[in-house]
């Protein structure tokens, strides 16, 4: 088996005498800050105008035409 190497502590108290509650509060704050995503990490939402999948859903890149007497009304409906 492999031998466990001692790891350096992640948090080290340099000065003072904090109690367990204070150490836990600092550890929780650091863990929360490390886990939080910054706006730079999140990708911008893609506009549907630039969505390449929307262009190939139908042959002309749009919904198919609906022929008929009131087809112009149906052409503006979502769907």
Beta carbons of 37 and 43 less than 8 angstroms apart: no
Tokens read off for 79: 């769907």
Distances from the Cα of 14 to the Cα of 11, 17, 18, 23, 71, angstroms: 10, 9, 10, 12, 76
Q: How confident is the model at residue 5 (pLDDT cuts 50, 70, 90)?
A: confident
pLDDT at 31: 87
Tokens read off for 61: 């890149």
- Predicted TM-score (pTM) of the model is 0.39
Q: How confident is the model at residue 26 (pLDDT cuts 50, 70, 90)?
A: very high
By percentage, how much of the chain surpasses pLDDT 90? Answer: 16
Q: How confident is the model at residue 17 (pLDDT cuts 50, 70, 90)?
A: very high
């Amino acid at each position: 088996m492999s031998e466990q190497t001692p790891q350096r502590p992640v948090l080290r108290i340099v000065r003072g005498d904090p109690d367990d509650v204070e150490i836990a509060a600092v550890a929780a704050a650091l863990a929360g800050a490390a886990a939080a995503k910054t706006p730079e990490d999140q990708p911008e939402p893609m506009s549907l105008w630039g969505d390449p999948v929307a262009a190939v859903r139908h042959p002309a890149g749009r919904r198919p035409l609906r022929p008929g007497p009131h087809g112009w009304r149906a052409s503006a409906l979502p769907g």
